Amino acid sequence: MTSDKQIILITGGNAGLGLEAVRALAKTSTPYEIIVGCRTRSKGEDAIKQLQSEFQTSSTLSTLQIDLESDDSIEKAVQEITSKHGQLDVLINNGGASFDPQIASGNMSIRDAFNKSWDVNVSGTHVLTHHAVPLLLKAPNPRLMFVTSGTSSMHETIAPDMPPPVKRINASPEAGWPKLAGLNPITTYRSSKTGLNMLMREWARLLKNDGVKDKLRQMGALEPHIGGEFIRDVVQGKRDEDVGKIVRNDGVVQPW
C-alpha cells in the first residue's frame, strides 16, 4: 500500500493551472504518484493521455473523481486514497471556479452565485482538507497548498501605489446606478478567494505543531505553465521559508 514515491493529489488537475502543475511535476526526474482530481473521471483520463503523448515520465499518473460540492464525493475520494496508498504527502487545493459571468448574463442570481462560489472555492476545500489531514499526518514530510487569486488582497484595495493591473481592478466606477458591468466581473470570485486566504491561515494555525508545511499560492494572469512550475517548486521544498504566506507568481509575498 505504501510507495517510495511522494503521493500528490491535485484537485482540478485535468485543466488549466492544475494540469500545468501535473505537467511540471511529471516532467521532473523525481518520480511521483500524481493523482489528478476531477469532477469527471474521463476528463482526467483524457488529460493524462495528453501528457503521456507529449513526453515520457517516471511518475505514475491516475485519476480520482471528486466533486467539491459533495461531502459524499469527498469522503469517497479520501477513502480511495486511503485504500490505495495509506497516506498523502501533498494536497494541492487547486480546484475552484468563478460564477460572476453567470450573474452578468442573468443565468444566476447574486445569492446563488455567491453561495456556489463559496461552496466550491472555500467550503469544499475546507471539507476536503479536513478529511485528508489524517492521511497527510502519516507522511514523513507533508505539504498542504491552497491556490488563491491575486485579486484577493484586502490591502491592495486601499493601497495608493499599486501596479496598473491592480489599480484597474480596484478602481471605482463613475457615480450613478446601476453600475455598468465591467469587462471582467470578479466581486463574487475575489470575495471567496479572500475567504480562502483566511482558511489557509486557520489550517496553518491548526497544523503548526504537526510538521505540515502549509502555504497559499497566489495566481495572476500569467501563462499557466509559470504557476505549474511554481507549484512544482513548492512540492520540492524550494519555498519552505514561506509557510503560511501568500506568494505571487514572481515569488514576492502578497500583502493581506
Q: Is 6 left (phi over 0), alpha (psi -120 to 50) or beta?
A: beta
**What pLDDT digit, counting tens, does each position of 171-214 carry?**
888 888 987 766 568 899 999 999 999 999 899 999 999 989 87
pLDDT score, position 255: 62
**What pLDDT digit, counting tens, does each position of 130-148 carry?**
999 999 999 999 999 999 8
Q: What is the largest CA-CA distance in the chain?
A: 63
Q: What is the dihedral of CA 38, 22, 141, 149, to 10 degrees?
A: -70
Q: Where are the domains of the chain?
A: 6-247
DSSP 8-class letter at 255:
P
3 state SS of 227: helix
Which of 109, 149, 123 has its CA nearest to residue 69? 123
pLDDT score, position 43: 96
CATH code of the domain occupying 6-247: 3.40.50.720
- Type of residue numbered 181: A
pLDDT score, position 244: 60
Helix and strand tally (H, E) in the chain?
A: 9, 7
- Please spell the DSSP secondary structure of 126-150, one letter per residue: HHHHHHHHHHHTTSSS-EEEEEEET
Confidence of residue 221 (pLDDT cuts 50, 70, 90): very low
CA distance 148 to 22: 18
Q: Which of the given ranges, 45-54, 155-164, 177-186, has the highest pLDDT on average?
A: 45-54
pLDDT score, position 153: 82
pTM of the model: 0.87
Which of 146, 143, 159, 155 has its CA nearest to residue 247? 146
Which of 38, 31, 35 has its CA nearest to residue 16? 38
Retrieve residue 97's grid coordinates.
471556479
CA 150 to mean position of chain CA atoms:
13
Contact 64, 7 (CB under 8 A): no
97 pLDDT above the threshold of 50: yes
What residues act catalytically? 149, 189, 193
Contact 75, 131 (CB under 8 A): yes
3 state SS of 60: strand
Which of 78, 12, 95 has its CA nearest to residue 47? 12
CA distance 247 to 239: 9
Q: Within 10 Å of residue 126's Cβ, how many Cβ atoms?
A: 17
